[in-house]
Amino acid sequence: MATLGVVGLGLIGGTLARRLVNSGEPPLVFDLKTEAVDAAAADGAIAASSSRELAEQCDTILVCVQTDDECVAAVSGEDGVLEGARPGTCVAILSTVMPATVLSLAALAADRGVDLVDSPLAGRGMFSVEEGSMTALVGDEGDIVARLEPTLRHFSSRIVRAGGLGSGAALKLAHNVVVYAGFAATVEAVELSHAAGVREGLLEEVATASGALSDLGAMYVQHYKHFRDDPHTAGEDQALRVAAALLEKDLSDAVALAESCGTSLPVASLLSHAGAKVFPVD
């Protein structure tokens, strides 16, 4: 019987499933896209026909979908995780979602004797999953972190107790404000230096030396210039569309969370429609 399951096999979930296979713990996997399940199974994962079937066989379930609606459907919808999960099962929401979504799902899970926590990941996306260098932001002040740690250590080098339930989700949204605002500023700086005739690469050299450009920002510059200047494959275009949509979702969610907390994020609000600028698609 499998003890570990992954629901959602996009860039993060698919890479994560492969990492688990390579670490000697092949997970049970499910995604609404059968081609994603087939690809994970070809890598050595175990295919499930639904989130419910997966949950019936797993003690720990990682949910890696993209939006709050997808998360709710995967966990509490028809044929969802909670329809199959046994009492004592642990469900970790790795998706970037609103704290309120986590709290709502955790209450439904508790009614079935299932533990559900937020544990979003901070890092360099699929690259950090492949390296095992993610930071896991767990919204738990009890013993669930200890139960999850052996699984999280397969792809995370650092596990942060963010606070109570939902605090990991809040921390991830705040983290993504830093990330996306930095990306947007980098785009403008790159375009300014280019238009002004500055030698190619000099901006990155100076900004790296001053500490203004992070390792993540430097990686982003390389990808941005490639996507701006070179022909795209269909797969790259699709990845860019997803990234642009996630930027707008995450920044809009951060703005909404700030408003609910009695504060405002004017920069994030301005950037919440800048997805196509930061991730240029033909």
Q: How many distinct structural domains can be found in the chain? A: 2
- Which of 163, 181, 214 is at the close of a domain? 163
Last residue of a domain, one of 163, 179, 195: 163
197 and 108 fall within a common domain: no
Is residue 89 domain-shared with residue 223, that is, in the same domain?
no
Domain boundary at 141, 163, 185, which? 163
Secondary structure element (H or E) that encloses residue 93, with its range = strand 90-93
Clarify whether residues 132 and 197 are in a common domain.
no
Asked whether 19 and 75 are in contact (CB, 8 A), the reply is: no
Residues 32, 60 contacting (CB under 8 angstroms): no
- Most distant pair of Cα atoms in the chain: their distance: 64
Question: Within this chain, do residues 254 and 131 fall inside the same structural domain, yes or no?
Answer: no
> Are residues 97 and 147 both part of a single domain?
yes
Reported as a single tens digit per residue, the pLDDT across 102-139 is 999 999 999 999 999 999 999 999 999 999 999 999 99
Looking at the fold, whether 138 and 268 belong to one and the same domain comes out as no
Specify whether the backbone of 137 is left (phi greater than 0), alpha (psi in -120 to 50) or beta.
beta
Considering the domain architecture, whether residues 26 and 144 belong to the same structural domain is answered as: yes
User: How is the beta sheet containing 60-63 ordered, strand by strand?
Assistant: 46-47, 28-30, 4-7, 60-63, 90-93, 115-118
What are residue 172's phi and psi, to 5 degrees? Answer: -65, -40
pTM of the model: 0.95
Q: Per-residue pLDDT for 7 more than 70?
A: yes
CA–CA separation, 23 vs 33, rounded Å?
Answer: 25
Question: What is the domain range of residue 104?
Answer: 4-163
Strand partners, 89: none
226 pLDDT higher than 60? yes
What would the pLDDT profile of 166-199 be if each residue is shown by its tens digit?
999 999 999 999 999 999 999 999 999 999 999 9
Residue 258 maps to which CATH number? 1.10.1040
217 shares a domain with 256: yes
